[in-house]
Chains A and B, each alone.
Chain A
């Protein structure tokens, strides 16, 4: 029981840190390369911990993140919902992928997320973003193995589920 509660705290903690990482400003040169941290962490938990991440949780989390960093209320809720849905749908297959294949899958997911965001922004009347806007999914995919291994290692060490 205690271990389960610890796991929940650890889960919430990683998401909170991901949110902080998203809010921390980077130098202007690095800004376009900033990955979408909450999506990456949520992806990890959706893959590794069965039944913990659901569509409802993704929606609520997205609304929460919108409070901090959002142009429209519901924007990130939409993005995270779509992301989590795809991951849960293909979860069993994604888990058997090699790291390289997983990176490609993550890249596809993040690119899909950017396209969704682009649609939302364009519909709300924002101008077309510059080409550097498309860099972020690639850094996200490149960071995926490290994030995955780090979180997995920490989880094993803490013997959490």
Chain B
């Protein structure tokens, strides 16, 4: 390889061609980023390239999995026995509680039949394991080892033993990505267990947990209050623990109170999570009875007026730019919107 011109590394002088090339590449990168920010291409490209992407994710998971296996292999026998004993006690306790709940559940069912609501207490879940992949610093995302082939769909809620973790946002053939409830672009409709106040919990901007940014000054929220999913919006089923209020302060304008919430789920420690399979039915009054009248074929298209309300009731903005619109309309519009999606 004979060197004709030492163009690639001039000692002192810069060359215009290199700078021009840099500018072209930088501009290209910026254009790509803007387009991706608007349209969310990255995940479409990623799912096309899943043949390469998924094996790399699995490969990156190997060290973590190896350490877990080793820690089990070299764990103290006594420790394991103790753990086993504790788990057995927990199971016994849980079973006992379940048995007591069974009669209550049956009673609940009867009452619901009387009230003619169809909400069921049954859960269809799928156990998934968290794949240890670092998706970049300060991203509130998880990768699960189940994907489209296992029937995972975007929007499915993900819970662990203690509460709601988040929801599936992107699905590859054998892996899927979960957006955690602590992500700043995530919003979840909640209800304060003690007072019944309905509001929306957002991921904190600094990734430290959740916040309730707009509680009326007169509303009854105290530190220690437990938050449950309210089921409004139809994304998360009602009644799952979301978190506990740790502090309540007045916001900078003095018009609202802001509560900081610690998530109930073990966000950064869970290894096994549950994927809820049946999406929650939207809460609200039953659909109005079909009025007798001219045949349906003559009626104007019904979807036109329902679509905006359904969009507003989605509990989450998929892309960051769409978020302000959703967050602005959600707290007040959610009850009405949820009712109208029926």
Cβ-closest chain A residue relative to B14: A89
- Chain B nearest CB from A138 CB (Å) reads 15
In the bound assembly, the distance between CA atoms of A77 and B321 in angstroms comes to 23
- Chain B nearest CB from A85 CB (Å) reads 5
In the bound assembly, the distance between CA atoms of A63 and B46 in angstroms comes to 11
Cβ-closest chain A residue relative to B35: A73
In the bound assembly, the distance between CA atoms of A91 and B11 in angstroms comes to 8
Judged by a CB distance under 8 angstroms, whether A145 is at the interface is: no
- What DSSP secondary structure best describes chain A's contact surface? helix
Contact with B along A64-92 (1 / 0, CB 8 A): 00111111111101100110010011011
Q: Which of A59, A68, A75, A92 has the most CB of B within 10 A?
A: A68
Choose among B37, B53, B57, B132 the residue that contacts A124 (Cβ–Cβ < 8 A).
Answer: B37
- Chain A residues, Cβ within 8 Å of B98: none
Contact A22 B22 (CB under 8 A): no
- Chain B residues, Cβ within 8 Å of A34: 134, 137
- Chain B residues, Cβ within 8 Å of A153: none
Contact B33 A24 (CB under 8 A): no
Contact B25 A77 (CB under 8 A): yes
In the bound assembly, the distance between CA atoms of A26 and B26 in angstroms comes to 31
Judged by a CB distance under 8 angstroms, whether B133 is at the interface is: yes
Contact A19 B134 (CB under 8 A): no
Cβ-closest chain B residue relative to A81: B25
Cβ-closest chain A residue relative to B62: A24
Interface positions, chain B 124-139, Cβ under 8 Å from A, are: 132-139
Contact B45 A67 (CB under 8 A): yes
Interface positions, chain A 37-70, Cβ under 8 Å from B, are: 50-51, 54-56, 58-59, 62-63, 66-70
Judged by a CB distance under 8 angstroms, whether B32 is at the interface is: yes
In the bound assembly, the distance between CA atoms of A88 and B19 in angstroms comes to 11
Judged by a CB distance under 8 angstroms, whether B30 is at the interface is: yes
Judged by a CB distance under 8 angstroms, whether B184 is at the interface is: yes
In the bound assembly, the distance between CA atoms of A67 and B136 in angstroms comes to 12
Judged by a CB distance under 8 angstroms, whether A28 is at the interface is: yes
Contact B11 A73 (CB under 8 A): no
Interface positions, chain B 181-232, Cβ under 8 Å from A, are: 184, 205-207
Q: How many residues of A contact B (CB 8 A)?
A: 49
Contact B134 A22 (CB under 8 A): yes
Contact B9 A88 (CB under 8 A): yes
- Chain A nearest CB from B331 CB (Å) reads 21
Contact with A along B128-164 (1 / 0, CB 8 A): 0000111111110000000000000000000000000
Choose among B25, B37, B138, B206 the residue that contacts A72 (Cβ–Cβ < 8 A).
Answer: B37
Given contacts A69-B136, A124-B320, contact A23 B57 (CB under 8 A): yes
Contact A74 B59 (CB under 8 A): no
Cβ-closest chain B residue relative to A121: B138
Choose among B8, B42, B46 the residue that contacts A51 (Cβ–Cβ < 8 A).
Answer: B8
Contact A24 B137 (CB under 8 A): no
Given contacts A24-B63, A73-B41, A127-B184, contact A78 B26 (CB under 8 A): yes
Contact B29 A77 (CB under 8 A): yes
Contact B205 A127 (CB under 8 A): yes
Given contacts A25-B132, A31-B137, A92-B9, contact A78 B30 (CB under 8 A): yes
Given contacts A66-B42, A124-B320, contact A25 B133 (CB under 8 A): yes
Contact B25 A23 (CB under 8 A): no
Interface positions, chain B 1-23, Cβ under 8 Å from A, are: 1, 8-11, 14, 18, 21-22
In the bound assembly, the distance between CA atoms of A93 and B13 in angstroms comes to 12
- Chain A nearest CB from B18 CB (Å) reads 7
Contact A28 B9 (CB under 8 A): no
In the bound assembly, the distance between CA atoms of A133 and B134 in angstroms comes to 15
- Chain B nearest CB from A89 CB (Å) reads 6
Binding site for A on B (CB under 8 A): 1, 8-11, 14, 18, 21-22, 25-26, 28-33, 35-37, 41-42, 45-46, 49, 52-53, 56-57, 59-60, 63-64, 132-139, 184, 205-207, 268, 320-321
User: Can you report 17 A-B residue pairs in the complex whose CB atoms are below 8 A from each other?
Assistant: A24-B60, A31-B134, A55-B21, A58-B25, A62-B29, A67-B45, A71-B139, A72-B33, A73-B32, A73-B36, A74-B30, A74-B31, A77-B28, A77-B32, A78-B30, A120-B33, A125-B320
* 5 tightest Cβ-Cβ pairs between the two chains A and B: A74-B32, A23-B60, A78-B29, A91-B9, A127-B205
